[in-house]
Amino acid sequence: QREAKFYENILKVLRPSPDYFAVGYYGQGFPTFLRNRVFIYRGKEYERREDFEMRLLTPFPYAEKLQSTSPPEQDVTDSPGQYIQCFTVQPVEEARDRFRGRNVPEQIVNFYKANNIQQFSYSRPFRKGPKDPDNEFATMWIERTTYVTAYPLPGILRWFMVIATARTIISPLENAIETMKKTNEKILTEINRHHSEPSLPVNPLSMLLNGIVDPAVMGGFAKYET
């Protein structure tokens, strides 16, 4: 009964999807518990990154904000000053076996995409070789950094320290497959919405399909086949 009540709350209470931010405190000017460490913060409801950064920098008026999202060099980490790095990261949802093969309401699926999360990722696109004017996906590589926090978010605190980091390189082919998988998930979500409520307008689904199939929009799926 208690678990059913929790699911009922997820279905009935409007919850805006929160943003998560990776924040690195670099330099010897920070207290020991912050110095040269990275934390993942959960932003407040409807909070923009600019507002979050302003709130973050307020306790450290002399700190300098790093413009790059790459890990800083040793001259920054060994510096007597204070340097703060901040950028948005994406929550990495864990596979939930209990939902597999079931028609789970969209609100519950979306809830677990942003809550009880312990892994977060940041993807930086880069190109290898000359750019193909006919197919921009062909040379688009992704450097993906995955962060693991000490505890799942949200928790007692709105922020936890990163205890593990891993970097992987995603090839153009893997990137294309990943993009199509995400697109299929969007289509499936729309289909499930229509199954549960047939009176919904069909426009969002038709627009989504046209955006993938129509060659006039991003070249259609022929680009991915190439």
Both 109 and 215 in one domain: the answer is no
Q: Which pLDDT belongs to residue 111? A: 87
Q: Cα separation of 90 and 113, whole Å? A: 10
CA distance to 48, 70, 93, 131, 148, per residue, from 9 (Å): 26, 40, 20, 49, 28
What amino acid occupies position 30?
Answer: F
Which residue, among 112, 113, 67, has the nearest Cα to 90 in the 3D structure? 113
Contact present, 69 and 85 (Cβ < 8 Å): yes
End of a domain among 170, 191, 214? 170
The CATH number linked to 219 is 1.20.58.740
CA distance to 16, 75, 159, 166, per residue, from 46 (Å): 7, 36, 17, 29
CA 150 to chain centre: 18
Both 38 and 133 in one domain: the answer is yes
Both 77 and 185 in one domain: the answer is no
What amino acid occupies position 10?
Answer: I
Both 109 and 211 in one domain: the answer is no
102 vs 152: which has the higher pLDDT? 152
In this predicted structure, the answer to whether residue 127 has a pLDDT above a threshold of 90 is: no
Question: Rounded mean pLDDT of the chain?
Answer: 86
* Structural domains counted in the chain: 2
Which residue, among 159, 160, 165, has the nearest Cα to 146 in the 3D structure? 165
End of a domain among 131, 152, 170? 170
Reported pTM: 0.81
Contact present, 153 and 20 (Cβ < 8 Å): yes
Work out the average pLDDT over 98-122.
84
Range of the domain at 18: 2-170
Both 28 and 87 in one domain: the answer is yes
End of a domain among 151, 170, 189? 170
Question: pLDDT (tens digit, 9 = 90+) per residue, 11-70?
Answer: 888 778 889 999 999 999 999 999 999 999 998 888 888 889 998 889 998 999 998 888
Q: Cα separation of 113 and 111, whole Å? A: 5
Query: What is the dihedral sign for C-alpha 127, 64, 31, 89?
Result: negative
